[in-house]
């Protein structure tokens, strides 16, 4: 009998543990919705769509926003709900918010709150609330770049969704530009959360995973940027409270800039209290930025998210970060989420799979692929601005449309899943091959698998390969000190390390030791120093990089110098051959990578053709010179090649 009772007790224990997930509940008052599943409890403002509270393990994870007069801002904080008293003196948002909220500037169209998934209708399995702001032709958004009068003419709907047993809440935002709305341009756009001051460990990436208390608030935040595509889970944890707060992107389709986009994932706010901050920038101006313009009369919408605001608890920051990364893998497998409804968000059955095989047709490059990236994006298009010419926008700077990228295999095969129906261009790039593959006019039908078969990629060549420096890989990591890009003092160190500038001999020199990765003006200011957010504005003289090479005979025809650039602040690169001017490489894209200590910006290639009779039999020199100016005005090369059509 005792054994039977013991057995029943064990059964009761496991049944109780397996059913301890509480049903989701929703309560509301005039100012807020409160979503609760027994694990997390979140409060959403009905007027702005801001996340004004997120409680986990009885702890408030977010900070609170107060005016400089130490009084609650009742326009954003619910009356009577200022419970936490953190970070007094703030003059900015201080909790979770979309930079383009559903309210817009003061005294504009009131937001419309609604319940889009009622937990009463599904036995407490899921709740979702919506806060929708109607533009009516007025600009919305009070985030970065806004003058307080709004920034972007679009209806904005913000949603939060909480499921039973989930350790976090999902959020997404829907932007809708109606045909009757005018021309509008989006500045920076992101979701941000400013956290409770007990968060002291930031985990943005493997590189930036460190103890970051308020005492270290003076770090130049631009040293903390990372590749978004490689870091799907990022956030903060607390060494004292043993809790973590992370943002998780289950998909990158709604983000800008594709797989090479570098961005902030977290830092300490620059205001006096230095709040721990986590950011999901889906469109920014950093490192060349991205573009989103919508023309007058154009009908356009975009769903940004859903992504997960994830909270957890472990013994150490490393364990919490590891758990968040595991959760990111789980979330990616769930994408697209089955519970999203009522917005332009195709279901799994409505999406398509696109596959194919790239075949490299090149006399020099190996047939296998290394680090192959393949993506479906909008075709290159013109962005319409009210006050300047319309630039051409490709996937690197596009934030208007969706992008779908995958890593291909070494044999060139690839498969891209969960693609929205529509018309796309297919791009591909790989280490070791200059340029990129492009196939246009690809139509994706609803719910269909598209097999593109073999796709022959013939890289552009302007003649015989004479010499090369570097590896075409979209960054400067292979060059000397290429892993020191986030040291603000790096441009100054060039003059110390290369007092006679770079002199590189083909066949003898090693670009990992003899080619400095930042080709910057040579510092002539003994007091030069890096300034936060400004790089090194001190002046430098013109800097020549001299390349020496031998020729068995004097060539004829045309020589073509091809330069791939991964970051730039220079107006031009002057070129001489054997001491004589051959021309300048111009029309360079400036992206702020050097002054803001970046790894890479807007990749682009340029070429300069000149008469091959400038090259002689025997020893020759070709010199690349960055003009004199601020040390910020330099170039980061990806790759340099000389070709001859003789």
**Which of these three, 270, 302, 334, is where a domain ends?**
334
Q: What is the pLDDT of residue 271?
A: 65
Q: What is the pTM of this model?
A: 0.92
Instruction: Give the domain CATH number at 510.
Output: 2.60.120.260
- Assess whether 471 and 453 both reside in one domain: no
Pull the structure tokens for residue 445. 């039908």
Residue by residue, DSSP assigns 377-405 as EPPPEEPP-SSS---EE-GGGB-SS--EE
Residue 111: pLDDT band with limits 50, 70, 90: confident
User: Is 60 exceeded by the pLDDT of residue 482?
Assistant: yes
pLDDT given at position 314: 98
The answer to the question of residue 599 being in a domain is yes
| Residue indicated by tokens 């002057």 | 574
Residue 216, domain member (yes or no): yes
- Say if residue 325 is in the same domain as residue 363: no
Quickly state the pLDDT bin for 145 (edges 50, 70, 90). Answer: low
Has residue 149 got a pLDDT over 90? no
The total number of structural domains that make up the chain: 3
> Cis peptide before 475, with omega less than 30 degrees from 0?
no
Whether 258 is covered by a domain: the verdict is yes
Assess whether 453 and 468 both reside in one domain. Answer: no
Q: Are residues 379 and 263 in the same domain?
A: no
- The percentage of the chain sitting over the pLDDT mark of 90, rounded to a whole number, equals 82
Q: How far is CA 416 from CA 59, 331, 445, 502, in A?
A: 41, 17, 14, 43
What is the predicted pLDDT for the residue at 532?
86
Buried b (16+ CB within 10 A) or exposed e, 284-313: bebbbbbbbbbbeeeebebbbbbbbbbbbb
Quick one: pLDDT at residue 523? Answer: 97
Residue 146 in this model has a pLDDT that exceeds 90: no
What is the DSSP secondary-structure string of 296-333? TT--EEEEEEEEEEEEE--SSHHHHHHHHHHHHHHHHH
- Averaged pLDDT of the chain: 91
Say if residue 117 is in the same domain as residue 228.
Answer: yes
Section 372-385 average pLDDT: 96
Same domain, 225 and 366: no
151 and 278 housed in the same domain:
yes
Q: Do 440 and 471 fall within a single domain?
A: no
Contact between residue 157 and residue 30 where contact means Cβ atoms under 8 Å apart: no
Same domain, 451 and 469: no
Query: Is 412 found in the same domain as 468?
Result: no
Contacts of residue 322, defined as CB under 8 A and 6 or more positions apart, other chains included, come to none
Q: How confident is the model at residue 73 (pLDDT cuts 50, 70, 90)?
A: very low
* pLDDT per residue as tens digits for the range 2-27: 444 444 444 444 434 444 689 999 99
- Checking if the pLDDT of 50 tops 90, the result is yes
How much is the pLDDT for 67? 36
**Host domain of residue 449:** 352-457
For the segment 126-132, the average pLDDT, to the nearest whole number, is 98
Q: Give the pLDDT band of residue 143 (cuts 50, 70, 90).
A: low
Q: Residue 202 and residue 224: Cα distance in Å, rounded?
A: 10
CATH number of the domain within which 265 lies? 2.70.98.10
Same domain, 449 and 468: no
Q: How many CB atoms lie within 10 A of CB 418?
A: 16
pLDDT band at 69 (very low <50, low <70, confident <90, very high): very low
Query: Distance between CA 161 and CA 127 in Å, rounded?
Result: 6
- 247 and 320 housed in the same domain: yes
With a pLDDT cut of 70, the percent of the chain lying above it is: 90
Structure confidence at residue 277 as a pLDDT band (50, 70, 90): very high
Chain-centre distance of CA 594, in angstroms?
Answer: 17
């Amino acid at each position: 009998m005792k054994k039977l009772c013991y057995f029943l007790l064990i059964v009761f224990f496991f049944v109780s543990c397996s059913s301890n997930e509480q049903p989701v509940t929703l309560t509301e008052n005039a100012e807020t919705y409160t979503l609760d599943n027994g694990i997390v409890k979140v409060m959403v403002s009905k007027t702005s769509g801001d996340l004004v509270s997120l409680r986990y393990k009885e702890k408030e994870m977010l900070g609170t926003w107060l005016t400089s007069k130490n009084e609650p801002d009742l326009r954003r904080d619910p009356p009577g709900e200022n419970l936490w008293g953190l970070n007094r003196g703030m003059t900015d948002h201080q909790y979770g918010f979309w930079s383009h909220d559903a309210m817009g500037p003061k005294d504009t169209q009131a937001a419309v709150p609604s319940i889009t998934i009622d937990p009463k209708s599904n036995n407490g399995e899921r709740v979702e609330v919506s806060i929708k702001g109607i533009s009516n032709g007025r600009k919305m958004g009070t985030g970065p770049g806004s003058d307080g009068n709004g920034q972007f003419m679009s209806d904005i709907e913000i949603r939060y969704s909480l499921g039973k047993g989930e350790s976090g809440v999902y959020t997404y935002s829907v932007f809708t530009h109606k045909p009757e709305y005018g021309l509008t341009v989006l500045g920076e756009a992101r979701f941000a959360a400013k956290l409770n001051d007990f968060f002291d460990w930031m985990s943005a990436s493997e590189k930036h995973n460190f103890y970051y208390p308020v005492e270290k608030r003076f770090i130049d935040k631009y040293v903390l940027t990372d590749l978004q595509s490689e870091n799907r889970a990022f956030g903060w944890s607390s060494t004292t409270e043993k809790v973590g707060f992370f943002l998780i992107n289950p998909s990158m389709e709604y983000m800008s800039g594709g797989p090479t986009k570098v961005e902030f994932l977290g830092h300490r706010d620059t205001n006096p209290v230095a709040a721990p901050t986590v950011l999901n920038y889906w469109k920014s101006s950093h490192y060349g930025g991205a573009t989103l313009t919508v023309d007058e009369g154009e009908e356009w919408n975009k769903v940004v998210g859903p992504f997960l605001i994830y909270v957890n608890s472990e013994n150490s920051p490393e364990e919490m970060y590891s758990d968040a990364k595991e959760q990111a893998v789980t979330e990616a497998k769930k994408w697209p989420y089955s519970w999203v409804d009522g917005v332009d968000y195709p279901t799994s059955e409505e999406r398509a799979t696109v596959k194919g095989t790239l075949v490299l047709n090149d006399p020099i490059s190996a047939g296998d692929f290394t680090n192959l990236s393949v993506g479906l994006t909008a075709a290159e298009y013109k962005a319409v601005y009210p006050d300047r010419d319309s630039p051409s926008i490709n996937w690197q700077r596009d934030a208007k449309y969706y992008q779908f990228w995958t890593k291909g295999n070494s044999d060139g095969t690839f498969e891209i899943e969960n693609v929205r129906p529509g018309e796309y261009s297919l791009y591909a790039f790989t280490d070791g091959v200059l340029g990129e593959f492009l196939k246009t006019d690809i139509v994706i039908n609803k719910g269909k698998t598209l097999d593109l078969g073999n796709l022959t990629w013939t890289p552009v060549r302007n003649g015989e390969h004479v010499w090369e420096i570097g590896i075409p890989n979209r960054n400067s990591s292979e060059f000397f000190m290429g892993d020191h890009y986030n040291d603000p003092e790096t441009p100054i160190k060039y003059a110390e390390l290369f007092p006679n500038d770079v002199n590189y001999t083909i066949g003898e020199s090693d670009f990992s030791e003899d080619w400095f990765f930042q080709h910057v003006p040579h510092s002539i200011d003994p007091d030069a120093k890096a300034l936060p957010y400004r790089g090194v504005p001190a002046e430098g003289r013109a800097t020549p990089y001299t390349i020496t090479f031998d020729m068995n005979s004097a060539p004829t025809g045309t020589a073509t110098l091809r330069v791939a650039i991964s970051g730039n602040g220079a107006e031009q690169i002057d070129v001489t051959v054997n001491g004589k001017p051959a021309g300048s490489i111009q029309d360079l894209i400036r992206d702020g990578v050097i002054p803001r200590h970046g790894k890479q910006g807007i990749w682009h290639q340029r070429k300069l053709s000149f008469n091959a009779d400038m090259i002689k039999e025997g020893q020759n020199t070709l010199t690349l010179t960055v003009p004199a100016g601020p040390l910020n005005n330099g170039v980061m090369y990806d790759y340099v090649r000389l070709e001859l059509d003789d």
